[in-house]
Structure 1
Amino acid sequence: MTTDPVNWPLIPRGTFFEDHVVGRVFDHHWGRTIHASDNLTFSTQTLAFNPVHFNRAAAKAAGHPDEVINPLLVFAVVFGLSVEDLSELGGPFLGATDVTYLRDVYPDETVYASSTVIEARASETRPDTGIVTWHTVGRDTAGQPVIEFHRTNLVRRRTSSTELLAVPDGYAEDFTVGARFRHARSRTITDLDLNGLTLLVMNSAPGHFSEQEMADTAFGERINFGGLTLSLTVGLATQDTAGQAVRELGLDDIRFPVPVKHGDTVGAATEVLAIDPLDGGDAVVTFRHLGVNQRGEIVCQTTRRVQVRRRAAEQPAAPTASSSSLISTES
């Protein structure tokens, strides 16, 4: 297999128009706990100055037990939970109807989402896409609905050059020592990183947030805090390596060969180094993660040890090397 991570097999994310058959149900696999801090940030940043969303006394005076989570935040979270399965591969959000708030949501509640395809038709103006409408429901931990809505998107069609490969669930059996793969998502570095996130973690090195300090250096401009480059590299890899993680055990061999600057886009690639069974059924999986910029340069590397669940005997078998090149050691 090639040693250049840019050419490693890609673990895909998202679905195509052809995957959306009327009646198909998607149970979106993540849930999201909504905190009071989420509610305050969302409400103030969207200028939603209804006091029941950020003033506990006002909320209680209105008959609520606590501040009420802004229902548009509930909508956005439930919508967001559905994106990976429904619309991540691209196609504009065309609109939503029948958005119904079925009950109030309060801080520290967890919501889950599921969607049913209710209509799928070809686009008359864009032959490379179709138009899909889903009925999405957000539920609490007891399974009771808290919100429902219909939303419609353009969704890309599958072409002869695109193939949606099997995606591992993240159990220990889904990984093979020596396997190498790229992750589908990437992220562009912005001022949120150079200023906001650097200062959030109280890193006071001015080279990350002061242009004046860096103007006469060899870099000529601000550079991203290495800890954030590391966090982004690992974060991008978790989409395919942490689905059944129990706990993070540690990192080693952290290096930053090339600095990351404003406007750089960072993606990630992973190699499986070791799988060590534990008493009790779990395993420790050791990964090597690489952060790669838009020029194909490695900007970060690290090894990471994670305790991962093993698949229970009654669950479906893990994908095999013959069914998915993602876990094969051959290119």
Structure 2
Amino acid sequence: MTQHTPKSFAGNYFEDFYIGMVLNHATPLTVSSGDIALYRALTGSRHALYSAQTFATDNGFERLAIDPLLAFHVVFGKTVPDISLNAVANLGYADGRFPKAVYPGDTLRAVSEVIGVRENSNGKTGVVYVRTRGFNQNDQEVLSYVRWVMVNKRDAASPAPETVIPDLPKAVDPKTLENLPTYTDWDDTLAGSEYRYEDYAIGEKINHVDGMTVEEAEHQIATRLYQNTAKVHFDGHNQKQSRFGKRLIYGGVVISIARALSFNGLANAAEMLAINGGTHTGPLFAGDTVYAWSEVLDKAELSDTVGALRLRLVAVKDQDPGGFALRGEDGKYASGVCLDFDYWAAIPRRR
């Protein structure tokens, strides 16, 4: 009788991870101008720096570049089969950097290292911390970030590993940022805003007003574009038995839509320089409408022509964002908040 050996990979479980474990992820992906167009179709992004080649080259880019968030999603997608195929939830991000621009024709690959593990008190799941780096075809690092994810255990009886929680910065120091822009010929009219670095104040909150309803087909296309094979996003049949009873929209879709909505009020803050932190605070499903607001947390002068705004981007669903509600009286995230995302964005200064 012929015996069949399994050749498919069912993903890693919590007990498979260990400190120092290095994961070289499949599959390299060559990004193209077609990816730019599809990303724009999925998010509605309007930032001129990533929409018009003429605007991009006038302000220091070789040509029209890939939006840093698109590069982030491509690299993130590579990591899913090895890190989060058996995840319960993606919990957060920190220390994200974009040291080199990505252009159409570049081929991206991803490598991750496990830097922390902690079993949860229920004994059924644990949290895994990884630092992921994305490289281009010349082995140049184009982005890096830390994320932590809650992963199911294969066997609840497996012994708990020694807890290691990495020491992560609360925010990226803007003085350490690489690949800083110059913005030598910034045109406010073409960019869509008259407001520059000097016009924003720490503590200021901005209602981005517009909303975007996410359809089932859109988030399916997005996860496939990023080759993100997580069951919670891909497999509608299995999700009928999940805690949600339906497919969950990939949190990166929420980040990108909220970021695209931020154009209305932050059109000149087009280039994401770093990710300080981020949390997916609540689920989003097809049919939900995303709205967003931002708070200016800090400012930094990078050069005579460029400054940086540290921005908290908050996404809410099916409600007016104008109340700027982040947390309730109990200290927990307010109802309907689905994203709390902290990042540095470059913005031109007045000269």
TM-score, normalising length from structure 2? 0.43
Which structure has the greater CA radius of gyration?
1
TM-score, normalising length from structure 1? 0.46
